Structure 1
Amino acid sequence: MKYVSYLFILGTILSARGEEVTDYEMCKNSKCTISNVNVDPCPQALKGEHCEFVRGTNVTFSANYITSFGTVKPITKVYIEVGGVEITDPSLPTDACLFTSCPIQNGKQNSYKRTILVSPKYPSGNHNFKIKIYDGTKKFKRDECCVQSNVKII
């Protein structure tokens, strides 16, 4: 019985991580490397398919990253790209320190984890989903870390 309880607890812990997504890519001009991208829920990742996000529900995104820049004031934004236009929900917090350790240091591994409400206003269909972390101290030519993946919003 102890063994069964242990397996149940272990399974619960592992499933809380979400599914590892392998169909992500770095955005153009991204100045970082990213590994261990997990999205919860995303059972489609087990089959190598794009995640399906249900409008009005929460999705948790986590990843490890190493930037080639540092910043004491990192900003983060989440985007859905529709017809080449990046759409963000202005109600989402942008202080990256809420989701990662700060300050962000050049060449040091860090983790990012945040839960996002999939806005009911997002259009259904296949879209590019992006998460960016950038240096909030610069107005132009910002250094940024950006990862993207195709998702289906339903």
Structure 2
Amino acid sequence: MNSSMFLAVVCLAIAAAVATNIPVKDCGSKLATIDAIDINPCSSIPCPFKKGTSVNVTIDFTAKADISSAKSSVHGIIASVPVPFPLKDSDACHFMKCPIKSGDKVTYKNSVDVLTAYPEITVLVKWEIVAEQDVICFTVPVKIVS
């Protein structure tokens, strides 16, 4: 493989990796710093959440405090009212390593089901990992689609 072809392949691989990280808004992370968030599938904002599927979320963060246990919480904000997206398991430690020491780099992987009963609306999704305070908190615009 010549050097220009190798460079093209590397650039495409980097572009594909970067394209999956969707910009989100930190909404009050206290015990960690968000390093990266990947929402799959989500190629544009608002993220299209297709009814009858699952959406996978991977959050890379750096802890600013020791964390022994935490819960996951996902809400859709509709007319300023938080409406819960039910999770199969709210124990965040089942989706990341616990306990966590301050300074640890952690990867959290979870998913949420998009129920067929959900209306086709645009909603702001708020995802939190909570210990005694918000470990991380972010929001992302989402559109529920068929």
Shorter-chain TM-score above 0.5: yes
Using the aligned pairs only, state the percent identity: 27
After the TM superposition, which segments of 4 or more aligned residues of structure 1 sit over 4 Å from their partners?
none
Quote the residue 1:20 is aligned against. 21
- Quote the Cα distance in structure 2 between the aligned partners of 1:96 and 1:116: 13
Q: Is the 8 A contact 1:53 1:153 kept in 2?
A: yes
Quote the residue 1:92 is aligned against. 88
Displacement of 1:114 = 1.1
In the alignment of these two chains, the number of paired residues is 131
Quote the residue 1:117 is aligned against. 113
- Quote the Cα distance in structure 2 between the aligned partners of 1:26 and 1:112: 16
- Quote the Cα distance in structure 1 between the aligned partners of 2:65 and 2:75: 22
- Quote the Cα distance in structure 2 between the aligned partners of 1:95 and 1:121: 25
Unaligned runs of 5+ in 2: 1-8
CA RMSD of aligned residues (A): 2.4
- Quote the Cα distance in structure 1 between the aligned partners of 2:73 and 2:87: 11
Q: Is the 8 A contact 1:37 1:64 kept in 2?
A: yes
Q: Is the 8 A contact 2:86 2:112 kept in 1?
A: no
Quote the residue 2:5 is aligned against. none
- Quote the Cα distance in structure 2 between the aligned partners of 1:99 and 1:128: 23
SS at match of 1:93: coil
Displacement of 1:89 = 3.4
SS at match of 2:124: strand
The amino acid across from 1:68 in the alignment is K
SS at match of 2:93: helix
Quote the residue 2:143 is aligned against. 152
Q: TM-score, normalised by structure 1?
A: 0.73
SS at match of 1:20: coil
Q: Is the 8 A contact 1:89 1:119 kept in 2?
A: no
Q: For residues 49-80 of structure 1, give each alpha carbon's deviation from its aligned partner in whole angstroms, at most 9, with x where no partner exists.
A: 32110122111111201232322121111111
